[in-house]
A = this chain, B = another copy of it.
Amino acid sequence: MASSRKARLYGGMDAEERRAERRLKLIDAAIEVYGEVGYRGATVKAICEAAELTERYFYESFANSEALLIAAYNHVVGHLHEEMTAAAVAAGDDAEMRLRAALTLYFTRLKEHPKPARVFLLEISGISPAVDAVKLDALRVFGDILVPPTSEPKQGEKAGAATLLSIGMVGAVISIALRWVSKQYPQAVEDVVAIAAGFCRVALTEADRRRGLHLP
């Protein structure tokens, strides 16, 4: 019954499908435009032109520019995190190997796709509290991929310290990535991975050490 109530087809597509396609086109266009002129420099009009759609369809899928930025960011980050997780899993059980695998995938993708990289690294910062929250969550996930949190949930002091370690680690990796990207990849991927891995190892070993309650 419910399935019988389908909207008229256009170009062989459902109304929903068309809407979804337009939404995707807008997201792709946004990544493209952000990559060129930045979020701040990107007007609704310019994005719509790049998507070959008119403003009308912008407001069909997004309440405002910020909503599109968030969608674009999640789009980029979603893919990246999935791939990193897969790479880490494929690398086996050794923490060091998993770390290298995830980082290698990360830097490889940044080099392959500069524009999404810019969205991921740069454009997402300092737009609004809502956007910041989305970013913070993504960074948390990013940290968990690189250094999976221990199973037992921690309390107060310890949890705070572990979080700061994770934050510092991600901050280091992202800063390195940002520099590397903006200087147009002067080092080989493996070299950058090696440097970034050093910072991750701190978080890893320090977290271990703290778990052992001040043992030398």
Q: Which residues of A contact B (CB under 8 A)?
A: 38, 40, 122-123, 125-127, 157, 160-161, 163-165, 167-176, 178-180, 186-187, 191-192, 195-196, 198-199, 201-202, 206
Contacts and interface: CB of A to CB of B under 8 A. Distances in A.
Contacts of A179: 163-164, 167
A176 B180 contact: no
Tell me whether chain A's interface is mostly helix, strand or loop, or mixed: helix
Contact of A202 (B122, B164, B202): B202
A175 B171 contact: yes
10 contacts: A126-B127, A161-B195, A164-B195, A167-B179, A168-B172, A168-B175, A168-B199, A169-B199, A170-B175, A198-B206
A13 B173 CA distance: 51
A23 B183 CA distance: 36
Contact of A167 (B38, B125, B165, B175): B175
Interface-central residue, A170, A198, A201, by most chain B CB under 10 Å = A198
Contacts of A127: 40, 126
A155 B40 CA distance: 37
Given A123-B126, A167-B179, A199-B202, 13 more contacts: A160-B186, A161-B187, A164-B179, A164-B192, A167-B176, A168-B172, A168-B173, A168-B196, A168-B199, A171-B173, A171-B174, A172-B175, A172-B199
Contacts of A176: 164, 167-168, 171
Contacts of A174: 171, 175
A155 to B, nearest CB: 13
Contact of A122 (B122, B126, B175, B178): B126
